[in-house]
């Protein structure tokens, strides 16, 4: 079905078909379908203005009236459902008259500036005037009107021009039904009625700039500023958002080589036509003036950069790697790939390290986010990934969110989740802080908010499981048929112990025992319960234990293996899942197969035509420690900014300073690049081909919509380096890399670019058994056969509060920004968030004499930094919170090097600190400012001609 066509009202899914006749054409559609949609599916267009197929019908414009044989009057086709054997006429003289009259009224109060209007050619009002044959307006244009209404230009990305508004309510309904924010209303009645963002301008209102209203508006009232500036697009290319793990599908709408608009795809499997402010609007960084597009090299980080040709840069990097390996050993070099990279880029990075470097020193940024997910899920259920698709949430009766903030981190999925909550699903939130969903709107609020103390996740999940076991809420049948009985019995004995009861753990977790009991009963009810979790689960010293605890609770209550349930890790970045799948961990080949496994090694050795090393390589923390102790001398970082994103910044920068050849491949001179010797300019997601895999294992195409400003797609740069090192790679297109992945990885066996083009996207496993992919996993049995319960003993973190450090700092993200902010800080999203703030409870602020916006010094065992205060009871007493999107904030200067026992994932979420009122930045911040200014000057000093 045409994904750009607007059928007027949403598709219905009833299996019962209704037959009717429209304008002489026999039509058969699911029960509940509107006459308008039935007509549209049969190729008959009924004029419409207030209807669109992303929204429930409203019936306000009266343009879509039809005649139905045997019925009186003229029903609105958008709000009238089909009935068996109806005979409908959409075009009669009477209907033409009525429609003309309606249009005359609209046009008499509408500016007649069509030729100079930004949406000329893309305006439904204009189309409808043509469709009804309007030639003149009998009422004239001189009556009372809204033509002088003032424009609201406050939003950086779109304007609101009320003089063009026809009060169809599509924007209001989009904000409610699609986005779930309720920022807009229609104020007043009759002629006085108008769209209002709560009597404020858009920027000061509740609006989160998702753009759903702009997309829904049939006139030029709400329109993108990029369209006003550049005009209408001439072509469009389907691609995938490069920000978060939701993986929204977009049409990049182009004029020549320039993007003029990003429009979410209606047939996008993850987003169904919705988007957030980042994907829809924040793509300006791809052409930002800070972008570096010419390779650069230098001997020392004190030297100015020298712009060089690609050949010189690649040869220099290769000669340095060879020199270092010769001098310090084959193991002294490594690479770090990123979840921002495509699957194909990550695959080539790990291949480069294993085949050309000859070691396994490849790691990825998932080390610092979801590595415990991989470990915990592999151990318990046999596969390192989420079990469901996003649509599964629409069948959940109880949703439990642990350590995630979907409205900020995964906004489009949050909108879908809110829709399910408005339909009546129950909500349990486990989070130290009051995230938006706790009290989102009159229609969406948590039934239970278990406001635990940071660091006590495992105690909390154990106490929930204790209640399930002790109160007889186990799904005995599921456990008996699907799980290992010995491991279960062992676990049952452990979890039944009094020490795991909510009462015993209350003082540790801070959650009243009766709340835990009620939440456990709700979760274990007979319907579908699903768990969604984020970095608030994984970034702890017991991150892997907590993931196992989640799997235990899910299996114990039988909530896995069908729609509406499951374990759903909300992956942070666009391709965390894919980066892990592609073998970017030092101990695993693609498809999570251990490097010590002979059969797997033989497979890769014969395909890659080289011998492969059988010992796991270095993880990022080992690389950094090795650099400081003098054993590790070179790192190649693609798309990853460890100097900002990894914990204990001073330790990271000391390690980088200790290396002899740091190679950075990125769009910008990021924090890590300031310590680099080779800078290889990267290509943006708009400039390359490849695939991303989102949080639901959905592999989607990234398509090149313009030529790379740096000259190469990123995978080509890795290929150049490999060839210069003497290990030949000869891929002509990213699709050939995916073909190799498919050939060597059983879960990807059926994946190819052609297949993705055909199906839109594919959720792995995709193989002979599941040729079109697998939306729900572990249906009849777990990937490992039987599910395995693990003992999850709660061991408190060593990062405890004391007199010197009496508060706990925890961290998170904000909607407008994406991780280290390298992209979003170079867009107008900065208007929402110019700096990272420290949230502090009013009691803690008062104790310390801290007022709103005061400078606050934050000291931990690792370091100190200074941020401005935001006083709020969203955080509990004893807990402070900040985001980490601006490098100067130094949020990671204060985080310690504590990490998960199994995977080394840093304990970002728990740092004991003290805060005091101060008047100036920290020493580190002053040094940072000077250092980064100096490094930027070292780029500017470069006067060398490019070959
Ligand atoms: S702003 Fe657009 S969508 Fe909203 S009521 Fe006016 S014309 Fe309709
Ligand atoms: S941009 Fe999104 S949040 Fe803002 S008013 Fe429009 S629909 Fe609502
Ligand atoms: S929700 Fe995530 S993937 Fe979707 S548009 Fe926003 S940032 Fe992009
Ligand atoms: S489109 Fe049916 S009443 Fe407006």
CA distance 326 to 663: 18
Segment 741-748 mean pLDDT? 95
- pTM equals 0.92
- Beta-strand pair 588-589/593-594: antiparallel
Q: Is the CB of 6 under 6 A from ligand 4?
A: no
884 φ/ψ angles, rounded to the nearest 5 degrees: -140, 40
Contact 673, 665 (CB under 8 A): no
Q: Please name which ligand lies nearest the alpha carbon of 217.
A: 1
Q: Which atom of ligand 4 lies at the shortest distance from residue 78's CA? A: 2
Residue whose CA is at the smallest distance from ligand 4 atom 3: 59
Better-scored residue on pLDDT, 134 or 898: 898
Peptide bond preceding 445 in cis form (omega within 30 of 0): no
Better-scored residue on pLDDT, 149 or 105: 105
**Amino acid 833: pLDDT:** 85
Q: Is the CB of 49 under 6 A from ligand 4?
A: yes
**Amino acid 2: pLDDT:** 53
DSSP 443: T
Q: Please name which ligand lies nearest the alpha carbon of 692.
A: 3
Q: Is the pLDDT of residue 945 over 60?
A: no
Q: Is the pLDDT of residue 946 over 50?
A: no
Alpha helices in 635-769 (DSSP H): 642-645, 649-658, 714-725, 734-744, 753-759
Round the average pLDDT of the chain to a whole number and report it. 92
Secondary structure class of 588 (helix, strand, coil): strand
**Distance of CA 168 from the midpoint of ligand 1 (Å):** 5
Secondary structure class of 433 (helix, strand, coil): strand
Q: Is the CB of 814 under 6 A from ligand 4?
A: no
Contact 253, 259 (CB under 8 A): yes
Strand partners, 462: none
DSSP helix, strand, coil percent of the chain (3-state; round to 5): 35, 20, 45
Question: What's the pLDDT tens digit per position in 430-464?
Answer: 999 999 999 877 788 999 999 999 999 999 999 99
Distance (Å) of CA 239 to CA 253, 279, 930: 10, 11, 40
Q: Please name which ligand lies nearest the alpha carbon of 277.
A: 3
Neighbouring C-alpha atoms within 13 Å toward the C-beta of 430: 33
Contact 237, 689 (CB under 8 A): no
Which residues, other chains included, contact 425 with Cβ-Cβ below 8 Å and sequence gap of 6+?
Answer: 396, 397, 398, 399
**Distance of CA 157 from the midpoint of ligand 4 (Å):** 29
Residue whose CA is at the smallest distance from ligand 1 atom 4: 171
Question: What's the pLDDT tens digit per position in 554-597?
Answer: 999 999 999 999 999 998 788 988 988 999 999 999 998 999 99
Q: Is the CB of 412 under 6 A from ligand 2?
A: no
Banded pLDDT at 37 (limits 50, 70, 90): very high
**C-alpha closest to that of 532 among 453, 445, 427:** 427
Question: What's the pLDDT tens digit per position in 256-273?
Answer: 999 999 999 999 999 999
């Amino acid at each position: 079905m045409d994904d750009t066509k607007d059928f007027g009202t949403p598709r219905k899914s009833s299996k019962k078909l209704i037959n009717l006749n429209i304008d002489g054409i026999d039509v058969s559609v699911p029960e509940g379908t509107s006459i308008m949609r039935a007509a549209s599916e049969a190729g008959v267009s009924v004029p419409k203005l207030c209807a669109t197929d992303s929204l429930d019908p409203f019936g306000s414009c009266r343009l879509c009236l039809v005649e139905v044989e045997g019925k009186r009057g003229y029903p609105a086709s958008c709000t009238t459902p089909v009935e068996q054997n109806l005979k409908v006429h959409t075009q009669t003289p009477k209907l033409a008259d009525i429609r003309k009259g309606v249009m005359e009224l609209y046009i008499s109060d509408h500016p007649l500036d069509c030729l100079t209007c930004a949406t000329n050619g893309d305006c439904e009002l204009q189309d409808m005037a043509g469709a009804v044959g309007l030639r003149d307006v009998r009422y004239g244009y001189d009556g009372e009107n809204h033509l002088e209404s003032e424009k609201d230009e406050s939003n950086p990305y779109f304007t609101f021009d009320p003089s063009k508004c026809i009060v169809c309510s599509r924007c209001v309904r989009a904000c409610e039904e699609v986005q779930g924010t309720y920022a807009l209303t229609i104020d007043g009645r009759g002629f006085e009625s108008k769209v209002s963002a709560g009597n404020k301008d858009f920027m000061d209102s509740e609006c989160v700039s998702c753009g759903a209203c702009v997309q829904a508006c049939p006139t030029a009232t709400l329109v993108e500023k990029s369209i006003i500036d550049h005009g209408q697009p001439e072509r469009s290319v389907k691609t995938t958002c490069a920000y978060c793990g939701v993986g929204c599908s977009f049409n990049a709408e182009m004029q020549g080589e320039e993007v003029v608009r990003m429009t979410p795809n209606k047939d996008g499997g993850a987003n169904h036509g919705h988007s957030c402010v980042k994907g829809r609007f924040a793509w300006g960084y791809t052409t930002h003036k800070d972008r570096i597009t010419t390779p650069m090299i230098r001997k020392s980080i004190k030297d100015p950069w020298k712009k060089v040709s690609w050949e010189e840069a690649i040869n220099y990097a290769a000669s340095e790697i060879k020199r270092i390996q010769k001098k310090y050993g084959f193991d002294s070099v490594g690479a770090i790939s990123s979840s921002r990279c495509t699957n194909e880029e990550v695959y080539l990075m790990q291949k480069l390290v294993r085949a050309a470097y000859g070691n396994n020193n490849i790691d990825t940024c998932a080390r610092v986010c979801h590595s415990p997910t991989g470990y915990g899920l592999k151990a318990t259920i046999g596969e390192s990934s989420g079990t469901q698709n996003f649509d599964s949430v629409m069948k959940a009766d109880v949703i439990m969110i642990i350590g995630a903030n979907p409205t900020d981190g995964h906004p489009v999925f949050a909108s879908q989740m809110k829709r399910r909550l408005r339909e009546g699903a129950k909500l349990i939130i486990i989070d130290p802080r009051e995230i938006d969903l706790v009290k989102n709107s009159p229609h969406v609020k948590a039934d239970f908010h278990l406001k635990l103390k940071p660091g006590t996740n495992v105690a909390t999940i154990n106490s929930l499981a204790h209640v399930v076991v002790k109160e007889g809420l186990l799904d005995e049948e599921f456990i008996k048929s699907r799980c290992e009985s010995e491991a279960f019995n062992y676990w049952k004995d452990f979890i039944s112990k009094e020490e795991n009861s909510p009462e015993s753990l209350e003082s540790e977790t801070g959650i009243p025992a009766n709340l835990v009991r009620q939440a456990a009963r709700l979760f274990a009810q007979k319907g579908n319960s699903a768990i969604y979790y984020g970095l608030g689960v994984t970034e702890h010293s017991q991150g892997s234990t907590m993931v196992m605890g989640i799997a235990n609770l899910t299996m114990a209550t039988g909530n896995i293996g069908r729609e509406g349930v499951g374990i759903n890790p909300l992956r942070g970045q666009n391709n965390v899942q894919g980066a892990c799948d592609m073998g970017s961990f030092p101990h695993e080949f693609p498809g999570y197969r251990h490097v010590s496994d002979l059969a797997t090694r033989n497979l890769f050795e014969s395909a890659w035509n080289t011998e492969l090393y059988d010992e796991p390589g270095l993880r990022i923390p080992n690389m950094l420690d090795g650099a400081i102790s003098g054993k590790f001398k070179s790192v190649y970082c693609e798309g990853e900014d460890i100097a900002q994103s990894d914990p204990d910044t001073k330790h990271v920068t000391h390690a980088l300073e200790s290396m002899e050849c740091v190679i950075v491949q990125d769009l910008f001179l990021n924090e890590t690049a300031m310590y680099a010797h080779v800078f290889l300019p990267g290509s943006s997601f708009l400039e390359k081909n490849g695939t991303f895999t989102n949080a639901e294992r959905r592999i989607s195409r990234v398509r090149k919509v313009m030529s790379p400003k740096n000259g190469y797609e990123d995978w080509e740069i890795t290929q150049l380096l490999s060839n210069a090192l003497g290990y030949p790679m000869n891929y002509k297109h990213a699709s050939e890399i995916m073909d190799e992945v498919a050939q060597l990885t059983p879960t990807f066996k059926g994946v190819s670019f052609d297949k993705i083009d055909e199906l839109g996207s594919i959720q792995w496993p995709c193989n002979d058994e599941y040729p079109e992919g697998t939306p729900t996993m572990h249906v009849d049995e777990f990937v490992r056969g039987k599910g395995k319960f693990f003992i999850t003993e709660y061991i408190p973190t060593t990062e405890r509060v004391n007199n010197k450090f009496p508060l706990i700092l925890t961290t998170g993200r904000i909607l407008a920004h994406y991780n280290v902010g390298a992209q979003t800080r170079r867009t107008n999203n900065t208007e929402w968030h110019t700096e990272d703030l420290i949230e502090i409870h009013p009691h803690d602020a008062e104790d310390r004499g801290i007022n709103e916006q005061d400078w606050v010094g934050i000291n931990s065992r690792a370091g100190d930094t200074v941020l401005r205060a935001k006083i709020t009871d969203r955080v509990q007493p004893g807990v402070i919170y900040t985001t980490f999107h601006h490098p100067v904030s130094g949020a990671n200067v204060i985080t310690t090097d504590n990490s998960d026992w199994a995977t080394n994932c840093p304990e970002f979420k728990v740092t004991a600190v003290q805060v005091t009122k101060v008047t100036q930045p920290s020493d580190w911040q002053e040094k940072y400012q000077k250092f980064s200014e100096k490094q930027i000057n070292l780029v500017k000093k470069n006067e060398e001609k490019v070959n």
